[in-house]
Structure 1
Amino acid sequence: MADFACSTAALAPSCSGWNPTTPGTSNSATFINVDDALASFELMVSMNPKPSISRFDQVLSYLLKMNVPHTAFSVSRSMELEKNVMPNLYTFNILVDAFCKKGNVLEAKAVVKRMIQRGLLPNNITYNSLMNGYSLRNEVDKARRVFDCMVLTGCKPNVYNYNTMIDGYCKSKRMEEAEQLFNDMLGKDVSPCTITYNILMNGYCHAGRLEDAQELLKKMCSQGLSPNLATYRTLLANLCNRGYLDKALALFEAMKSNKLKPDVPMYNFIIAGLFEAGRVNEAREMFSTLSEGDCLKPTTRTYNIVINGLCRQGLVDDAYNLFRTMEGLTCPPNCKSYNVIIHGFLQHKGPFEAGDLIQEMLSKGFTADTTTMSLLMDLTSKNQLNHPVVRKLVGDSGMACEEVRPKGLSAERNITPEAC
């Protein structure tokens, strides 16, 4: 990395609409598959004495979209050697970014070396891709060396570079270093954006530092930045998972008072949290609010959360009735739905009735999960379940009860923003 240099032109530190693979002009070419793109490239090479660099970039962009960066790199080499068409900074950057996203940082550095040899200096985008590539490989120290190299070569870090580096530290749970870099931003007159705060907030939550995350929200607002849905989604999920339901509900109401409409995942967090805390009536009321709304509607996941919550409270008949209402909706029961209601039947109702549901589940192409299989095998081994379909299912599995013994019967606990 010591041989890197950098252009003096830094990107504007805006937090919206930045994409390292977006060129200055739009590319409208479309291809059917990789072979079609390569055929287009070969035709271009054979017919044009010096093809347009924009057309060349179109082919490269498609190949990278199809996840074949090595092929794209070979095409760029062919263009240079056969037609003397020199890749520009944009071309090199999209190649570097593609290799880094696949974790191939060594190949990306080879592209950068070739770029420098052609007289083109890395810029913020180039360095950012390399930092992101190392972070994806959990090599945050190497990412930091790229960051420091960028500074040493005179390329001033912008908000994206800081965001990438802070995110790397947060994902490695190195919050002290993430905080130091955040403070460094402020000292270098680089203004954090909403995404910066969201990254740091998410890091605090994953480290179990919910109070720090909430304080950061206050600081963010005091700086005149408006929290977005991602901000609230992160905090709500973690507050609910750790049982701070009253704080989660207060935050939920504060968000609505700030004229931000909650999305379905946020309702899912709170409903799941309320059931987990045994606050069944509040959970059902929250579900009714979502179901009766004009804009948002429950998803299959929402129904699964409610069905699971009702079953865990012993309200299996209510859960079954809700399960049946799904069939006439745009979110019909899925594999998880069947397994959740079957768990409830096996625990609170007659096992033979569960057998009928299992037969129905299998007829729709769904499968029993490990918890269902464990419950069934335990009952079958005790001669408490004589349903022929179930006995065949258990016999065909060839699994011992110990192999699938459940660690817990909660099908929708620890819901995360990613899961919803």
Structure 2
Amino acid sequence: MAQEDVAPIRVGLLGAGTVGSQTARLLVEQKDELAARIGRPIELTGVACLDPAETDPFPWIDKAIVTTDTMSVATNSDIVIELIGGTGVARKFVLAAIESGASVVTANKALLAKYGPEIYAAAEAKGVDIYFEASVGGAIPFLKPLRESLVGDKVTSMLGIVNGTTNYILDEMTTKGLDFDDVLKDAQAKGYAEADPTGDIEGYDAANKAAIMATLGFHTSVTIDDVSVEGITKITADDIAAATAENKVIKLLAVVENTDAGVSARVYPALISNTHPLASVHGSFNAVFVKAEAADDLMFYGRGAGGAPTASAVVGDVVTEARHIAQGCTGPSIPLYKDLKKAPIEASKAEFAVRFVIHDNPGVLAAIAAKFADHGVSINGVNQDLKPTLKDPGYDGELQQLRLVTHMTDELTLRETVKDVCELDCVCGEPSILRVLN
């Protein structure tokens, strides 16, 4: 049967913002090419947004299909693309689309990190598909290999740079020697950071992605509530200078692991060697480093944000699902068949780099080392070469930075040790604590 004799696959788009408008452009401009790849026509039949005027700058969007009736688009399509964002109305429309028999494509990491297990179960019960490649890593084809190519292997850990805003800020602090606040203002002026950057700089955006990574990688339910989060707002120019002096860089990492202690999902800034593959990931680019038992080390790299790059991943999911519809089948479900315990962050072990600002007097190092010994924390290295920018108004003498690197220790013990050290009169200011990734 010729394609023109077959009813087109109806695609409904919820949201016409930066990513939504570019998704519409790719669907419209590549309509014939996509039909040839799918084996059946595909048509954008509805675009829902709060104000139809939002689509005026986009001539490729047919104004006749633009509506404010989001529920109508959600329940009268074969494939629904959810690009509204957030976790409130987006959840309502996604579940309504699934209930109507539509498959769903979304880039909404916050929605999946909070309600993913519920949505996956609803899709499986209804016999439809849910795809969300663009929710982690933008244009990077990472989640599909995790769902399909590695399904015969056992993934043990993943760590990634999954937020371009924080990666850009840390890059600028490193290359220009600027403080965090100055770089953030510059990033906002250039459009690299939101007016309210909290979700990025406090690590919440990366935490949403970590929850999705852990859920898919370990076949168990991990939500945003299970993720330990630490952002980059406490990173100072002194931290950057100390890292540079040791041939290291600071990166905000999403780290998920499946160990005997349980599943852990964490976001934190860490020191990594300049020779590590993730050290060369700059600006808005993202990368995820995967370790699997049989495949060993894998790395996925690409643009992690932007309208067109993210739309590329969205349309890729649409084509995948359209092929399933054309062939009368469904794709792989997301079986969360394991009920794995969650490992507490306090029990996680790592090497730590701890930086104190101290009074430059005899006996100070010995006093601090004694505190570490009292808690059984072994010191691997000491550095006192760098002068601090911090001043102690109650002390007239010289100040010095003391940087200690520990052997492997658990986080709870390390933080108790640091708390005791900070009670010494010779220590001023707030210490810096960074994990060291080897």
Instruction: Indicate the TM-score class for this superposition, using the shorter chain for normalisation.
Output: under 0.3
**Structure showing greater Rg:** 1
Which has more helix, going by share of residues?
1
Structure having the larger proportion of residues in strand: 2
* TM-score for both structures, normalised by structure 1: 0.27
With CA pairs under 8 Å and 6+ residues apart, which has the higher RCO, 1 or 2? 2
